[in-house]
Amino acid sequence: MRPFLKWAGGKHRLAPRIIEQLPHGKRLIEPFVGSGAVFLNSNYKSYLLSDANADLISVFNYLKTDSENFIKHCETFFTRDSNTEAHYYENREKFNSTIDTRKKAALFIYLNRHCFNGLCRYNSSGKYNVPFGRYSSPTLPVEEMLFFAKKAETASFEVADFFDTMSKATLGDVVYCDPPYVPLTATANFTDYATGGFGNEQQKSLAEMAEKLRNNSIPVLISNHDTEFTRVLYKRSSMSFFDVQRFISSKTSSRGKAAELLAAFV
């Protein structure tokens, strides 16, 4: 099933490859759940899904706890007149200023479906700042949202950093990490999906945590770009390598293939 959110670096197309490498277990833990592609297409008894992006987790929790009413609320933002630049920026301002968490969650979905390339990006003040996307006719993905809501019955969603989430892993758990990727170039950095970013020190801490869990018989699988830095970072893992088609570059000519890897700490 395709996620209901557009997501830079989303794993919908790679989900079969990733799930094939995930060991069997009772619970899947994802400290960087993103759009939830692996969650939606895997088959564990239960899930612990977290992300540093509080807006994202709020959307997931509203879908889990009140899906029918929440979807109806979201529909009010998808009108005949909603797909204009002026309307988009008006709603973006409402999203950045409202204290109504339900309204903010619905606006998050509206922005996601109308913004440029489905990006999720915040400025240094924590304000969502992605520009208008100019799509012909964005629609609310009701079917995908209902599927997510049903699947969410087996999941817990938390706002947390990866260290706190991975620290909750116990025997029988399996961990899949899809962190903000190490940039391939100095200008190709999409780590500001939540205020604070994700730099090299965090990448190193994640690899260290993966080794610690592996040493406690808890398997961890990590996705990232295939670079000299990540090959050294994951040198104590079993790595597989492949190319993935790019979809988020602003220039169509730049949307070539990027080298990726999966590091298995098992």
Mean pLDDT for the stretch of residues 244-265 = 74
Domain boundaries, the chain: 15-53+151-265, 65-144
pLDDT at 250 over 70: no
Distance CA 175, CA 222 (A): 8
**pLDDT one-digit tens code per residue, 110-161:** 999 999 999 999 999 999 999 999 999 999 999 999 999 999 999 999 999 9
| Packing angle, helices 54-75 and 101-114, rounded to 10 | 90
Q: What is the identity of the amino acid at 262? A: L
Residues contacting 251, CB < 8 A, separation 6+: none
CATH of domain 65-144: 1.10.1020.10
Q: What is the identity of the amino acid at 65? A: T
pLDDT for 187 equals 56
Q: pTM for this structure? A: 0.92
CATH superfamily of 15-53+151-265: Vaccinia Virus protein VP39 (3.40.50.150)
Q: Is 213 exposed, middle or buried (0-12, 13-18, 19+ CB in 10 A)?
A: buried
**pLDDT one-digit tens code per residue, 11-43:** 999 999 999 999 999 999 999 999 999 999 999
Contact 122, 194 (CB under 8 A): yes
Distance CA 254, CA 10 (A): 18
pLDDT for 245 equals 80
